[in-house]
Amino acid sequence: MNDNDIITYCKPGLQKKRFQKLKNGALKIHFEIDLHGKTLAEANDFLDMHIPSLLEKNCNCGLIIHGKGYNSGPGGPKLKSFVQSYLIEHKDTLGFHSASPKDGGTGALYVLFKKHKEEENEKSI
């Protein structure tokens, strides 16, 4: 992977129209996470800490800025690759796509997570 590669992922079952809106940056952005300057371990901890609280608030669509990895050396953009793998493995990820140039281009991703319904125990009370 290089700094200008577009990355994209769509979980089976996500409606094509909704994914197309995500790709075009046409969905409302509820959050922005900037991982610039973080190590892979710091980025992992940051995402592990912040994504659950965002999802609790039903902030399911946002922008994750990972940078283009210009200073990553011959191995390519490490943070970009990490974020891609992290999101694919995350159980609530529905899809993601490299952002449009106005939102960071190939240095950022539009991300869509599952909406969380109210806790079952709250409904039964």
Burial profile 73-99: b = 16 or more Cβ within 10 angstroms, e = fewer: eeeebbbbbbbbebbeebebbbbbbbb
pLDDT in tens, 52-90: 999 999 999 999 999 987 777 666 689 999 999 999 999
Q: Is residue 91 part of a domain?
A: yes
Q: What is the CATH number of the domain that holds 12?
A: 3.30.1370.110
CA angle 99, 43, 3 (to 5 degrees): 40
Q: Is residue 85 part of a domain?
A: yes
Confidence check: pLDDT of 119 > 50: no
Q: Is residue 110 part of a domain?
A: no
Q: Is residue 60 part of a domain?
A: yes
Q: Is residue 28 part of a domain?
A: yes
Residue numbers of the domain that contains 51: 8-99
Confidence check: pLDDT of 125 > 60: no
Q: Is residue 19 part of a domain?
A: yes
Q: Is residue 52 part of a domain?
A: yes
Overall average pLDDT of the 37-59 stretch: 95
Total structural domains in the chain? 1
pLDDT in tens, 81-116: 999 999 999 999 999 999 999 999 999 999 999 987
**pTM score, two decimals?**
0.88
